[in-house]
Amino acid sequence: MSVEVGSKVQGKVTGITNFGAFVELPGGSTGLVHISEVADSYVKDVNDHLKIGDQIEVKVLSEKDGKVALSIKKAIDRPEGQASSSYSQRPPRQGRGDNRSKDFRSKGAFKPKETFEDKMAKFLKSSEENLSSLKRNTETKRGGRGGRRG
């Protein structure tokens, strides 16, 4: 095969599916860019990023039994230390380990969570209401009291 795993090549988008895009590579072979390899950000629809006929640079991830796996996002050169995933670029979460939450609770503004017994009582009440409503509706459809008309 003309493509080598790890190499970057130019290709032409020949088809788009809901799970990725097919790319024609030099030498006439075809590979698939999976939807997860199209861009660093979340891709809901491949059509938002690619069109049939686009010339793109892809990196060959693997080749097995004639199937070539490709990546657009790994073909982009990045400076050392820059992450490829947009998830790692999020700011760190605040308020999990600091003392502010402890001070907040000690001032009496903290309300205890609903107890298990309270949750169970609420569930049983709504469950009984749903069951009685369901029984009422099915009995009227059957002609009342479960009897069948002949």
Mean pLDDT of 36-42: 92
In whole numbers, what is the pLDDT of the chain averaged over residues? 79
Domain range enclosing 30? 8-71
Give the closest residue to 57 by CA, choosing from 12, 97, 119.
Answer: 12
Query: Is residue 21 situated within a structural domain?
Result: yes
Is pTM beyond 0.85 here? no
Separation CA 62–CA 79 (nearest Å): 24
Mean pLDDT of 71-80: 82
Domain containing 29 — which CATH number? 2.40.50.140
The whole-number pLDDT of residue 52 equals 94
Query: Is residue 12 situated within a structural domain?
Result: yes
Q: Which residues make beta-bridge pairs with 66? A: none
Query: Is residue 47 situated within a structural domain?
Result: yes
Work out the pLDDT band at 1, boundaries 50, 70, 90.
very low
The b-or-e profile of 57-71 (16+ CB within 10 A means b, else e) is ebbbbebeeeebbbb
As a whole-number percent, the residues of the chain with pLDDT over 90 amount to 41
Query: Is residue 79 situated within a structural domain?
Result: no
Q: Is the pLDDT assigned to residue 107 strictly greater than 70?
A: no
Residue whose pair of structure tokens reads 């493509």 in the numeric block: 3
Mean pLDDT of 98-109: 52
Total domains in the chain come to: 2
Mean pLDDT of 48-52: 93
The letter for the amino acid at 35 is I
The whole-number pLDDT of residue 96 equals 53
Instruction: Tell me: do 65 and 117 sit in the same domain.
Output: no
Query: Is residue 94 situated within a structural domain?
Result: no
DSSP H or E stretch at residue 100: helix 100-106
The whole-number pLDDT of residue 136 equals 83
Instruction: Tell me: do 66 and 13 sit in the same domain.
Output: yes
Work out the pLDDT band at 4, boundaries 50, 70, 90.
confident
Query: Is residue 124 situated within a structural domain?
Result: yes
Mean pLDDT of 43-56: 93
Tokens of 64: 């097995």
Query: Is residue 42 situated within a structural domain?
Result: yes
Give, in order, the Cα–Cα distances in Å from 99 to each of 6, 96, 107, 109.
49, 9, 13, 15
Query: Is residue 107 situated within a structural domain?
Result: no
Of 27-41, 81-95, 130-144, where does mean pLDDT reach its minimum? 81-95
